[in-house]
Each structure stands twice: as C-alpha cells, then as structure tokens.
Copies of this chain bind each other. A is one copy, B any other.
Amino acid sequence: MVTSSPPVSPATPASASKRFELLTLGDELLLGLTANGHLTFIGAELGRRGVMLDRNVTITDEAEAIRRQFRESWARADVIITTGGLGPTCDDRTREAIAEVLGQELVFDEGIKQTIAERFARMGRRMTPNNLKQAYRFSRGEVLPNANGTAPGLWAEQDGRVLCMLPGPPNELQPMFREQVLPRLAALGLVRAREAYIQIRTAGIGESALEAKLQPSFDRHGAALSAAFCAHQGQVDCRLSSPSGELNDEALQAIAAECARDLGEDFLCFGHDSLAQVCADLLRAGEHTLAVAETATGGLLANAFTNICGASKFFAGGCVCYSNESKMQLLEVPEDLLSQHGAVSAEAAVAMATGAAERLGADYAIALTGFAGPTGGNEANPVGTIHLALYSHRGVWSRRLSYPGPRPTVKVRAVNAALDWLRRELVKERATAGGNPSARQGSG
C-alpha cells in the first residue's frame, strides 16, 4: 500500500502545462495476464523529472481500436508515448495504425534493416521476411536504436506534439527510455535535465512523526521549499523541491543534508535505494558478513539480499527452517529449548540467530520465527506474531512484532523490520568504529 501526498509540482515552467499521455497496448494487459509494468516504470521516471503523466490508457492491439484511441489522444496531449505492438508478426499493427492517423508515410530504412540483419547474424539465426516490417519508420520521423532487440523505437515531432513509440519488452524499453527518450525530452524543455527533487528516504518512522521532525527545517526556508511525503511499507520518502526555482540545486542539497542530520538513524538514504541495498553497502563498507535464519518469511529475507548483484561478497548464507528438526540440524538449536519455549519464541529466535552466525562464520545474523498465517498461531503467539533476533559481536537481542493482514503482507513487513534493525545496528557500529556518523549520501 502506498499513500501519496500531492505530488511535487513540476519544477519545469516550460512543461508545466504540457500533457503527457501513455498508451499501453496489448490484450495480455486487459486480460490481466501480465502487469502493466510500463506504467510503473515510465510514470516513475517522468515523476523524477518533474512531470506527472496526465493519463494512461490501455487498449487492445486491434488496428481500429488503436486508430480511434490515438486520434483522441493526439488531439489532447502534447507528448504521447506508446508501448508495444512493434513486433514482426501480423498482429503488430501499431506502426501502421498510427501512421494513418498522423497522415505520415512509412518508409523503409536501410539502416534499420542492416542493424536487424547484423543482430541475427551475431546470434547465428536466420532473419525471416516478417522482420523487415520492423525496418519501417515515419517519413518525417526518427529512429531510436534498440541495443537489446530487433524493433527500434520511433520518434516524431508534428503539429507541435511529440510522439514516441517504444517496443514492449521491458529489457528493450527501459534502457531506450533512460538513454534516448529522457535526453530528447529534456532537450525540448519538456522534462527537467536532472531529478526535479531531492528524495530523502527514511525507515522505521511514520509519516506524521517524520513531518514533525523536519518541520523546523522547513520553517526556516518558508514558501520557497516544497515537501511531499510518500509512505511505503515501513518506509517514508520525503521529496524536497523548489517549484518557484527560488532555491537552486545547491541550496536544496544543503537543506536535504540538514534534514538527514536531524533525522539521525531514521535517515535511510538520498534517492531510491532499497533497505536491503543500504544494508549491503554498510556490510561491504565495514567488511562484515551476514547470515540469516528464517521460518515464517521462508526465504524472502535471503532473497532480498541475493537480489543484490555481488551479494556473495557479504552474504554468508541462510537457512529456512520450517521444522524443529531443521532448526536442530542446521542451526544447532537445542531440542530442550524448542520443547520448553516453542519454535515461535524469543528464545528460539535468539538460538537461531546465534546458530546461523556460528555455523556460517558470519559477524552478523538475523533470525525470524513466527506465524505468517492464515493458519497456525496459539494463544501466546497469535497469527501475525513474529519474533526477530539480531546477532552481532556486541551481543544478541530479540524483539517481538505483530502484524495484521494476509500472509504476503506479514512476510514483507517482517522482512522490512528485520532489515531496518540490522541497518540501525550497522550505523551504530560504523559510528563507534570511528567512521563518519553523519548521514551518508546514497546513490541515486
């Protein structure tokens, strides 16, 4: 669940009144067979550059539907981005349908053909005639080369409007959007050349507490400063901007640094890094290793770390111990302890964390045991109860948490709580180890 404050006002006066529309094409979206990830990606990328999409329309890839929708969108939007329908097969009709509405010719482009042919040759595959369909571009338009697939993107400026057509596969669309589309839009003054705001990411503090903590800073800078909050699970972002342009980037950065100092340990990073990424950076910087032991979260915590490229540098390993036997076998949790306190207990969590650290030779260990629901649970530990334990060279501690909600929500929240606890411990460690205790600058 995300609750959203009013978005940051676009800080690009030039584009303040421009309307951006995203057309996502494909029956598989309308049938719920695949999620509309293009909206999530493009919406977020534009948002960072100070623009909020005006509208996203998803329609079938049938030619008449495309013509009808595009005609309507072209009449009202200033920038139209389409995704999908550029493939080589006969049901990819977007190029033709849109050319018709624009009154443009499609012309065969030898350069595109050459690039596609080279790609096939490189992969040792034979180019089929239908691939040549992808070599057509608008007569008054440009080509956005595709480094990761055969269909290039198409670009046209006409009637004071911009049309940008992107291929559907995310691994083709995303680099094309970042590397080609955003710079082109920025050059036309339609999006900011850099991020439109500075994002302060926090963890373990609620939205209203965060606002209260930052208010003194905000007050000092008055109306020139705009702050917008956005709460995710266990994490709240605060975006600072200066819609009037009165505060330049340097001034905003100074204010952000001041806010980060005021927040202390609640400060996670500037930008968009995940909790797991911040923990990973801290572990690497301190040359620490980590082990995890899970029951209820069943591998989700280990997966959060192993999603990070180069995780083997700090991640010693993890155990998913559903049965008492596995806790005894893998983590050397004493049978007596389990029978006396139960597998869902602070004692079990502490023993699991200690066992994981010792068996895997790690400096830090996190253990989670609990009932994610919907079944299980007992009087002392109803469904939603999670016992966390954190092991470090400074000691081993436990905490009891309780989350309402369905199984996947409980799992995610428990993992976030565990990550945030580890992060705070690592920040303390860095401070006592003589590192710089002030807020670090995260990567964008």
A residues whose Cβ falls under 8 Å from a Cβ of B: 1-4, 6-7, 26-37, 39-47, 52-60, 65, 69, 91, 169, 171, 230, 232, 291-292, 296-303, 305-307, 309-312, 315-323, 325-326, 329-330, 359-361, 373-376, 405-408
Contact = CB atoms under 8 A, between A and B. Distances in A.
Contacts of A298: 302-303, 305-307, 311
Nearest to A326: B317
The secondary-structure label for the interface of chain A is mixed
A320 B307 contact: no
14 contacts: A2-B28, A29-B43, A30-B56, A32-B39, A32-B44, A55-B57, A171-B406, A303-B303, A309-B373, A312-B322, A316-B326, A317-B323, A326-B359, A329-B359
Contacts of A44: 31-33
A32 B27 contact: no
Contacts of A319: 317-320, 330
Nearest to A323: B316
A2 B326 CA distance: 38
Contacts of A318: 299, 319-320
A29 B39 contact: yes
Contact of A375 (B29, B91, B309): B309
B58 A55 contact: yes
Contact of A322 (B303, B311, B322): B311
A230 B56 contact: no
A37 B29 CA distance: 11
Contacts of A69: 55
Contacts of A33: 2, 4, 43-44, 47, 230, 232
B56 A60 contact: no
Given A34-B2, A359-B330, A302 B316 contact: no
Contacts of A65: 54
A7 B36 contact: no
Contact of A4 (B27, B301, B316): B27
Q: Give the one of A29, A230, A322, A376 with max B CB within 10 A.
A: A322
B306 A361 contact: no
Q: Give the one of A7, A292, A376 with max B CB within 10 A.
A: A7
Contacts of A36: 35-36, 39-40, 56
Contacts of A302: 298-299, 302, 320
Contact of A53 (B6, B30, B43, B54): B30
A295 to B, nearest CB: 9
Nearest to A123: B404
Given A303-B299, A326-B360, A330-B360, A32 B41 contact: yes
Given A32-B40, A58-B56, A303-B303, A316 B311 contact: no
A185 to B, nearest CB: 16
Contact of A301 (B39, B47, B299, B405): B299
A15 to B, nearest CB: 15
A230 B316 CA distance: 40
Contacts of A323: 312, 316-317, 360
Q: Give the one of A27, A57, A171 with max B CB within 10 A.
A: A27
